[in-house]
Structure 1
Amino acid sequence: MAQINQEAGAARRTRAEQRPGRGQLIGIGALMVVLTNAVIFILPPLLPVIQAQYGLATVAETTWLYTALTLGGGAGFILLPRLADLYGDRNAAVAASAFLTIGAAVPAIGDSYPTLLAGCTLMGFGGAAQLLPLGFLRRNLGEAGITVGVAVLVIATGGGIVIGMIGGGLIVENLSLRSFFVILTAACAATTIATYVMVPHAPPAERSGRIGVVGTVWMVGWVAAILLTLTQGLVWGNAALIPLVVGVVGGIVWARSQRRSSTAVFDVALMRTPLVTASCLCIALFAAVNSAFLLLLSTYAQIIPEALRPVDAYGLGLSALQTGWLMVPFAVTFLIGGAVADRPVANGRGVPVFVLGALVSAAGLAWLAVMHDQQWHYLVGAAVMGLGCSIGYAAGFTLVQAAVPEEKAGMAAGVAGTFMAVGFAFGTALVSADLSASLVPVPGTTLEVAAEGLYGTGYWISGVLALLVVVTVLVSSARSRRRRGAVGS
C-alpha cells in the first residue's frame, strides 16, 4: 500500500512539474484574446472599404458581414467552451484557432463578397477562443484564476482593439483586402500551433454530459431570422414579416423545449442563481451598445463631405487607419475598467458596479448624440465609452464565473459569451436599421449613405440600451430580496 501511495504521489508531482508556468498560461491566453478581438474590431473601420471594393449598395448589406461574425460566435461561444469542459482545454483551443485560420483563408482565396460572408461566419465561430482562457486559467491557477482570467480577457481585449482598428487600417492602406486576409491567415495559423504547444493537455474537467448541438444551432437560427428582419426590413417591406414570424415562433418553441431537454443550451440551475441571468442580459446590452458605437463612429468618420455636395455634406473624410486612431482612447480606458470593477464585485457589490458602467456608457453616448461632427468629439466619447463598457464586461463575466464550480468554467464562459455575441449582433442590426431609414445618394456613384440626422438618433437609441442595464439589475436585485424575505418568513 505504501508503495502505491508513493507512486501516486510521484505521478502527481510529475504532472505538476509538466504544468506550464503562470506566465506562459497568461501569455497564451492573452494572445488568444488579442487575436480574436482584433478580428472583431478590424471590421468596423473596413466596412466602407469593403462596400466600395465589392460594390455593395446599402449599409445593411455591408453590415451583414459583422452580423455573420457575431452570429457565428453565438454558436462557437457555447460549443467550444463546453468542448473544453468535456474533452480538454488544448483540444478546444486548437479547434477554435483552426476555425479562425480557415475563416481568414476563405476570403483570402475567394476574394469576393460571398466568400467574405462565409469567412466571417467561420471566424465568428472560432472567436470563442477569447473565452477559453477563462477556463484553463481557472483550472490551472485555482480560485485566483477567476480574477486572473477576467483581467486577461478585459486587458487583452484592449490590445485587440488597438491591433484591429489601427493594424487593419494600416495594412489596407498599403496592401489590398486580399493581402490583408492572407496575413491574417498566417497569424491565425501561428496561433493554432502556439495553442497546441502551450495550452495544457489535462484530462477533461467534466467526465459526463453532452454538448447541446441541436439546441445551439436552433437558437442561432431563430435569432438570425429576427436579425434579418432588423437589417433588411426597410428594404424588403412587408416581406420582412416572414423571417420575423419565423424567428419569434422559433424562439418561443425553442425556449419551451429547453426546459425539458437533458442537454439544454443553458444550465437551468446556473441561470437561476441570483444575478446570473441579470448579468448575462447586462453583458448582452453592453455588447449591443459597444457594437452600435463602433458602427456609428466608423460609418460617419469615413464619409467624405466633398463627395456629397451639392447635397447636405457631412462626415470626417478619414481613412480606415485614421478611424482606428480615433479608437485609441477607447482601448486605453478599456484597460482601466477591469481594475475598477474587480474589488467591488469580489466584495458583493455587483449591482452598483453594473449601474456605474451603464451610467458612464450612457453619458458617453449622450455626448456623441449631441457632439459628433469633429474628431475631438469622438476622442472624448471613445474614452468614456471604453471605461463604461469594460466595467460592465468585467462585472458580468466575474459574476457568472463565480457562480459555478471549476469543472463547469467553460460552460459558464459559454453562457456569458453567447449573450455577448447576440448582443453584438443585435446592436449592429439595430443601428443598421436606423442608418437605412433615410438614404442620401452620393452624386456620381451608385452608393447611398445615411441621412446625417440618423447618427444622433442612433446614439440616443444606444443610450436607452445602456440605461436598460440599470433597470435589469435593479429589477433582479428587488426579486432576490423578495425571495430571501419569503424564505425567511
Structure 2
Amino acid sequence: MAELHRPGLPHAVPTRPPGRGPLIGMGALLVILTNAVIFVVPPLLPVIEAQYHLATLARTTWVYTSLTLGGGAGFILLPRLADLRGDRHASVVASAFLTMGALVPAVGNSYPALLAGCFVMGFGGAAQLLPLGFLRRNLGQGGITVGVAVLVVATGIGIVAGMIGGGLIVQYLSLRSFFVILTVAFAVTTVASYVIVPHTPPAEPHGRIGVAGTVWMIGWVAAILLTLTQGLVWGAGALIPLVVGTVGGIFWVRVERKSATAVFDVALMKARSVTAACVCIALFAAVNAAYLLLVSDYAQVVPGALRPGDAYGLGLSALQTGWLMVPFAVTFLLGGALADRPVARGHGVPVLLAGAGVSAAGLAWLALAHDQQWHYLVGAAVMGLGCSVGYAAGFAMVQMAVPEEKAGMAAGVAGTFMAVGFAVGTALISADLSVAVVPVPGTGQAVAAADLYGSGYWLAVVLALLVVVPLVVSRARAPRHRLQPN
C-alpha cells in the first residue's frame, strides 16, 4: 500500500519516554468512557421522559440528536488538534469538554440543560479516536496495531458497560446523581490525561486548521446528521437540511481541493482503499446501530402488557438487557486480535469481507430466531466478532495509508464516516419499527408490530452485504488512482 510520506515533515519525539502500560490504559479509559456515555442513553430514556415531563417520543430523541451533532464536530476537530498542537493538549481538551458536558445537566437539572450537556459531551466523545494517534506516535513499530486493538476492544467493553450501567442507574440512582458521578469521573480523566499522555512536539508544527473549511464541513455534516436523526419526526421537512447538507458537501469538496489549509488532505482520500475502508466503517457502524436498537427495543417489551394476539417480547429490564450484550463484548475482544496480522500483511480487503459475512450471518440468525434469551446470546457473540473484525480492518487500513504526522487526520476522517453510519443505521431501523404499531392497553403508548423486528434484521443483513460494493469499486478504480511514493 503506497503511503503519503512527504519529505521535510518532522516526526514528533516525546520529551519523556512514556510508560507503555499506563499509556495503553489511558487510551482504553478514553474509549470505554466515551462509548459508555453513548450507550447509557437507551436505558435512561424512560427516566428522562418521566423526570422532565416530555409529552412525546419526538422530544426525547433530541438527546440522540445532540450527542450526534456534537460528535460530528468533535470527530473533525479533535484528532486534527492532536496533529497540530500535540497529543496531550488534545486529550486534555477532549476530557475537559466531557467534564463540562456532564456538569451542565448536573447543575441545570432541566431538559434544555440536558440537551446542551449532551452536545458538549458528544463533542468531547471524539476522545475515543485520540488513542489511535498517541499510541502510534509513542509506541513505535506496532503502534498502529496496538491503537486499533485498544479502540476495538475498549469499544466493545464500553458498549456493554453503558448498557449495564444505564440499567443500574435506572434502578438505583436519580438522573442528577448520575451526572454528578459522571462529572467527577471525567474530571479525574482530565487530570489523568495531563499526567499520562506525553507532551510531544506537534506532528505538524507549522500546520493550521482552516477555520472556514472546518466550519463549513461541520455545517454540512451536521445538516445531514440532523436529517438522519430527526427525519421521522419532521417528515417531508427533513428534506430541507438533507438537500442543504448534500449540496454544501459537494461544493465543500470542490473548494477544499484547491485550499492551502484543507481540513482533510485530498491525497489521503485518493490513497488506495482509504475511501473504500471509510465507507466500510460507515456500513459496519450502521449494522452495529441497527443491531443494538433492535435488541434493546424487543427485549424490553412486556408480553403481558399486550393483547394475547399481539403479545411478544422478553419483558426484560434495562439491566437484564445489558447482560444480554456481554457475549458481544467478549467476542469483540477476539475480533481485533484475529484481524491484526492479516491486515498488517496487506490483506485488509478479505478481512473486511469476512467481517461483513460474519455480521450478516449473525443478523440472519436473529431475523429467524429472536424470541428467546438464548437466541440473543448466540446472536450477540456472532455480531461482536463480525463488527470488531470489520472495525479493526477499516481503521487499520486508513492509518496504514498515512505517515505518523497525519495520524489524527486519518482518525478524524474514519470517525466522521462512523458517526454518519451510526446515524444511518439508527434512522433506518427507527423507520422500520414505525411502519406499524400495536397499542399497549391502558397506557396510551404503542410498540412496533412483532414482524417488523424480523424485517429490521433482514434490512441490517443488506447493510452488511453492501460492504462488497465499495471494495469492488475500489479495486476497479485502483489502477487509475494509485499513488506513487515520493
Assess if the C-alpha contact under 8 Å between 1:63 and 1:432 holds in 2: no
- Flag the 1:49–1:297 CA change in 2: closer, same or farther, 3 A: farther
2: CA distance, partners of 1:186 / 1:481:
53
1: CA distance, partners of 2:245 / 2:14:
49
Given candidates 142, 145, 148, the residue that maps to 2:146 is 148
1:43-82 mapped onto 2 (5 Å cutoff) = 43-56=41-54, 59-82=57-80
Identity of aligned residues (%): 78
Amino acid at match of 2:159: I
1: CA distance, partners of 2:308 / 2:243:
42
2: CA distance, partners of 1:265 / 1:149:
23
1: CA distance, partners of 2:466 / 2:271:
21
1:420 and 2:418 correspond: yes
- Flag the 1:108–1:447 CA change in 2: closer, same or farther, 3 A: farther
Deviates more, 1:421-430 or 1:206-215: 206-215
Assess if the C-alpha contact under 8 Å between 1:344 and 1:350 holds in 2: yes
Q: Deviations over 1:348-374 (max 9, x none)?
A: 111100000001111111111222222
Deviates more, 1:270-279 or 1:154-163: 154-163
1:55-454 mapped onto 2 (5 Å cutoff) = 55-56=53-54, 59-309=57-307, 312-454=310-452
Deviates more, 1:24-33 or 1:329-338: 24-33
Q: Deviations over 1:41-89 (max 9, x none)?
A: 2123333443454444555543442243233222111211111111111
1:25 and 2:4 correspond: no
Amino acid at match of 2:337: A
| Superposed displacement of residue 22, structure 1 | 1.2
1: CA distance, partners of 2:286 / 2:248:
22
2: CA distance, partners of 1:116 / 1:130:
22
Assess if the C-alpha contact under 8 Å between 1:138 and 1:145 holds in 2: yes
Assess if the C-alpha contact under 8 Å between 2:75 and 2:126 holds in 1: yes
1: CA distance, partners of 2:16 / 2:234:
59
- Flag the 1:58–1:275 CA change in 2: closer, same or farther, 3 A: farther
Please give the secondary structure, in 2, of the residue aligned with 1:131: helix
2: CA distance, partners of 1:112 / 1:315:
33
Unmatched runs of 5 consecutive residues or more in structure 2:
1-12
Please give the secondary structure, in 1, of the residue aligned with 2:435: coil
Assess if the C-alpha contact under 8 Å between 2:14 and 2:138 holds in 1: no
- Flag the 1:56–1:310 CA change in 2: closer, same or farther, 3 A: farther
Assess if the C-alpha contact under 8 Å between 1:281 and 1:419 holds in 2: yes
| Superposed displacement of residue 481, structure 1 | 4.8
Assess if the C-alpha contact under 8 Å between 1:351 and 1:477 holds in 2: no
Amino acid at match of 1:238: A
Deviates more, 1:275-284 or 1:243-252: 243-252
2: CA distance, partners of 1:17 / 1:241:
51
1: CA distance, partners of 2:112 / 2:35:
23
| Superposed displacement of residue 280, structure 1 | 0.7
- Flag the 1:240–1:86 CA change in 2: closer, same or farther, 3 A: closer
- Flag the 1:437–1:250 CA change in 2: closer, same or farther, 3 A: farther
Amino acid at match of 2:435: A
2: CA distance, partners of 1:158 / 1:275:
25
| Superposed displacement of residue 400, structure 1 | 0.9
- Flag the 1:21–1:229 CA change in 2: closer, same or farther, 3 A: closer
Deviates more, 1:46-55 or 1:200-209: 46-55
- Flag the 1:269–1:56 CA change in 2: closer, same or farther, 3 A: same
Q: Deviations over 1:394-417 (max 9, x none)?
A: 001111111111111111111111
Amino acid at match of 1:146: I
Give the TM-score, by structure 1 length: 0.90
2: CA distance, partners of 1:363 / 1:166:
26
Assess if the C-alpha contact under 8 Å between 2:14 and 2:198 holds in 1: no
2: CA distance, partners of 1:214 / 1:160:
34
Please give the secondary structure, in 2, of the residue aligned with 1:315: coil
1: CA distance, partners of 2:61 / 2:195:
36
2: CA distance, partners of 1:481 / 1:253:
27
Q: Deviations over 1:88-125 (max 9, x none)?
A: 11110000001111111222223333322222221111
Assess if the C-alpha contact under 8 Å between 1:48 and 1:302 holds in 2: no
Please give the secondary structure, in 2, of the residue aligned with 1:122: helix
1: CA distance, partners of 2:190 / 2:414:
24
2: CA distance, partners of 1:337 / 1:350:
14
- Flag the 1:246–1:388 CA change in 2: closer, same or farther, 3 A: same
Please give the secondary structure, in 2, of the residue aligned with 1:115: helix
Please give the secondary structure, in 1, of the residue aligned with 2:384: helix
Amino acid at match of 1:109: V
Deviates more, 1:180-189 or 1:153-162: 153-162
Which position in structure 1 is the counterpart of 2:474? Answer: 476
Unmatched runs of 5 consecutive residues or more in structure 1:
1-14
Amino acid at match of 2:249: G
2: CA distance, partners of 1:300 / 1:104:
29
Give the TM-score, by structure 2 length: 0.91
Deviates more, 1:162-171 or 1:315-324: 162-171
Please give the secondary structure, in 2, of the residue aligned with 1:260: coil
- Flag the 1:483–1:145 CA change in 2: closer, same or farther, 3 A: closer
Deviates more, 1:97-106 or 1:257-266: 257-266
Assess if the C-alpha contact under 8 Å between 1:33 and 1:129 holds in 2: yes
1:39 and 2:37 correspond: yes
1: CA distance, partners of 2:119 / 2:107:
16
| Superposed displacement of residue 420, structure 1 | 1.0
1: CA distance, partners of 2:54 / 2:432:
18
CA RMSD of aligned residues (A): 2.3
